[in-house]
Amino acid sequence: MQHLIRTSDFSKDEILGLFDDAREFLKFEPNEILKGKIIVTLFFENSTRTRSSFEIAAKRLGAEVVSLDVSTSSASKGETIFDTVANINAMKPDAIIIRHSECGLPESLAGYVDCPIINAGDGKHAHPTQALLDLFTIYEHFNGNTEGKKVAIVGDVRTSRVAGSNRRLLPRFGMDVSFISPECFRYDGDEFKTYIHISDVIDDLDVIMSLRTQLERHSEIYFESLNEYAKDYCITNEVVGDRDILLLHPGPVNRNVDISDDMLKDPRCKVLTQVTNGVAIRAAVLKKLILA
């Protein structure tokens, strides 16, 4: 049995296999690949978007989804998360999808279950299905020729789990990842090139991955407002010009903070394609882990 805690749980070949399945699922032809399977979602952090994506992915394959409302659950009766998960596991689901604010929690649950655990985001650590769908979107855009492509991740790279998963995954497919962020959001580490200004590097880029800026996640006040941040980091038509650049964002986008209205309408911006690919990639992950 295999879990998906981080993208390194899958080999490159396994990931390419997921892409083959995802490509099939994008045809949206009816199927019953996971008929009779029960998938539990357990979101300790709200995320209608990610949860819906998983739910639709599961239902597209004929599986049943049981969404546990964690806020009203036994957690409030003083039960530990380990007991909660052990109990859910005793109901014999075929997979558990979990999001939690604590880094490493999904992994620590693996010893308590008899079914695959899928990490749908754990704190600042990882968000593996997001990184897989980002990679898939890039991979399809370049017809598989990702070798040497230059990707800049822009924004709060320090606390973003999307950045965390992507910086580990994209280099495995030959991509050159750099970070662009204000000093306060700078990545703590020296394995990646980091820049302060987009203009320093934009001419070399093939892909810009803008992140959602959540000032409230920081205990210190770095910017007086999102608009102040936007002055330097919003991806606008002016910034991108007529360069041949693929623009991505994990969503939800802060309009005119992360990306400008005009760039969101630009065909180079594939934010909604990412959403569609997300359903297909999650379906592929569910199929792989449950039928393994």
Active-site residue set: 49-50, 77, 99, 127
The smaller minimum CB distance to a second copy, of residues 20 and 216, is found at 216
Whether the Cβ atoms of residue 166 and residue 132 lie closer than 8 Å to each other: no
Q: Could you give the dihedral angle defined by the CA atoms of residues 22, 27, 32 and 34, in that order, rounded to the nearest 10 degrees? A: 20
- The Cα–Cα gap between 286 and 27 comes to 17
Which residue, 85 or 175, has its beta carbon nearer to a second copy? 85
Residue number, 30 or 148, with CB nearest to a second copy: 30
**For 25, phi and psi rounded to 5 degrees?**
-65, -25
Q: Name the pairing type of β-strands 150-154 and 64-68.
A: unpaired
CB of 236 to a second copy, least distance (A): 18
Q: Which two tokens stand for residue 241?
A: 């010009």
Residue 99 marked as a ligand binder: yes
161 is in an annotated binding site: yes
The annotation status of 265 as a binding-site residue, yes or no, is: no
Residue 252 known to bind ligand:
yes
Q: Which amino acid, residue 204?
A: D
Distance between CA atoms of 224 and 184, rounded to whole angstroms? 13
Q: Which is nearer to a second copy, 38 or 110 (CB)?
A: 38
Residues of the shown chain interacting with a second copy in the complex, contacts defined by CB under 8 A: 28, 30-31, 35-36, 38, 40, 46, 48-49, 52-53, 55-56, 59-60, 62, 64, 66, 68-70, 72-74, 77-80, 83-84, 86-93, 251-255, 272-273, 275-276, 278-279
CB of 63 to a second copy, least distance (A): 9
Rounded least distance, CB 55 to a second copy, Å: 5
Residues 6+ apart with CB under 8 A from 119: 3, 4, 5, 6, 98, 99, 106, 107, 126, 127, 128
Q: Which residue ranges are tagged as binding site for carbamoyl phosphate?
A: 49-50, 99, 127, 130, 251-252
Q: Which residue ranges are tagged as binding site?
A: 49-50, 77, 99, 127, 130, 161, 212, 251-252
